[in-house]
Each structure stands twice: as C-alpha cells, then as structure tokens.
C-alpha cells in the first residue's frame, strides 16, 4: 500500500522540476537552430523514485527502427494509494541524424517516451523544444502508420485524455 494519498502523489509529481538549457536545437517550423529548455531523464527518474521508491517501473512495449527514425513505445507502471497498479503509455522517437549509433537512438527514444508518460501523470514538462521534437516524432509515426498527420497546434492542445487516445491509436496500428 502506498503511504501517500493519490492527491498527495499528484501534488508531489506536479511540483516544479529542474530544467536545463541546450544550444543548437533545430526548430523544424522555422528551419533554424535555437536554444531550448528540456528536462533531463535523470530528473524525471528522481521524481518518480522520490514519489514511489521502488514501486514504479517501465517497459518497452514496441520498438521501431526505420531508415531515418527510431521509435519506442513505453509503458510506465505506477501504484495507486490502495496498492493497485496502473499504467500510462507513450511513444518517444528520434531521428537517426540527431543521435550517433543505434544504442544512443534507442536510449533517447525510450527516454522521451518515459518523459511523456510521466507528463501524463502530472510531472510538469513545459512546452519546450524537447516536447516539440517529440511532437514531430509522433506526427511522423502517425504518417508512417497511414494516419492523418496532426499539426503542431493540435498536439499543443491535447489534454491528457486526448493524448491517451492518440497513444492507444498508435498501439492498435502497431499491434501492441
């Protein structure tokens, strides 16, 4: 049984989290390199650990390695206050041109998927270049799977339920 109530867990997860700045992020909309803010995966893992200790986990449900992109569908398992386990799924991806070597590409894809799944629980990931990159990856994956390519504006407006619906749609298409 979890020591914290579900409300206390949400408050802990949604507290401000440390962000980093990185130079040279490529903005696909403006076709220019820009500085951007992001959250390191280590900070997400620290937040999950400080909330649930060893009672959370994640798994890679599906991997996709294409000619130009690498994607990973990630499931984040977490406990409710009554001890039952729940999960959130998300997709992370990267272009092969942004990370050298397949191992680094998979690590980045899994990390982005875990960050997005954690955001569905309330961990504050601000709209930043890292999230925009993930939006681009989701759009590309939807297109590759034959779906209608969602716009950046549409992805920015997704609420938690809509994001879950998109992930479920991707899972069905990937047959996960």
Per-residue model confidence as pLDDT tens digits over 73-105: 999 999 988 889 999 999 998 888 877 889 989
**Nearest CA among 73, 77, 100 for reference residue 167:** 73
pTM above 0.95, yes or no: no
CATH 3.30.390 fits 6-174, yes or no: yes
Q: Which residues, given as ranges, of the chain have pLDDT below 50?
A: 1, 127-130, 159-161
Ramachandran region of residue 24, left (φ > 0), alpha (ψ -120 to 50) or beta?
Answer: left
Instruction: Provide the sign of the torsion angle of the four alpha carbons 13, 19, 22, 26, taken in this order.
Output: positive
Tokens of 37: 């803010």
Q: How far apart are CA 59 and CA 57, in angstroms?
A: 7
């Amino acid at each position: 049984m979890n020591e914290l109530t579900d409300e206390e867990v949400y408050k802990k997860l949604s507290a401000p989290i440390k962000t980093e700045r990185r130079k040279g992020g490529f903005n696909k909309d403006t076709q220019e390199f820009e500085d951007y803010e992001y959250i390191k995966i280590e900070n997400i893992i620290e937040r999950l650990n400080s909330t649930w200790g060893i009672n959370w986990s994640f798994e890679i449900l599906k991997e996709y390695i294409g000619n130009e992109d690498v994607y990973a569908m990630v499931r984040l398992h977490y406990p409710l206050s009554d001890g039952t386990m729940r999960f959130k799924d998300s997709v992370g991806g990267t272009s092969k041109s942004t990370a050298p070597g397949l191992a680094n590409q998979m690590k980045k894809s899994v990390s982005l998927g875990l960050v997005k799944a954690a955001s569905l629980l309330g961990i504050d990931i601000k709209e930043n270049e890292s999230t925009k990159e993930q939006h681009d990856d989701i759009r590309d994956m939807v297109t590759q799977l034959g779906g209608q390519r969602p716009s950046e504006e549409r992805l920015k407006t997704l609420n938690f339920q809509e994001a879950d619906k998109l992930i479920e749609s991707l899972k069905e298409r990937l047959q996960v």
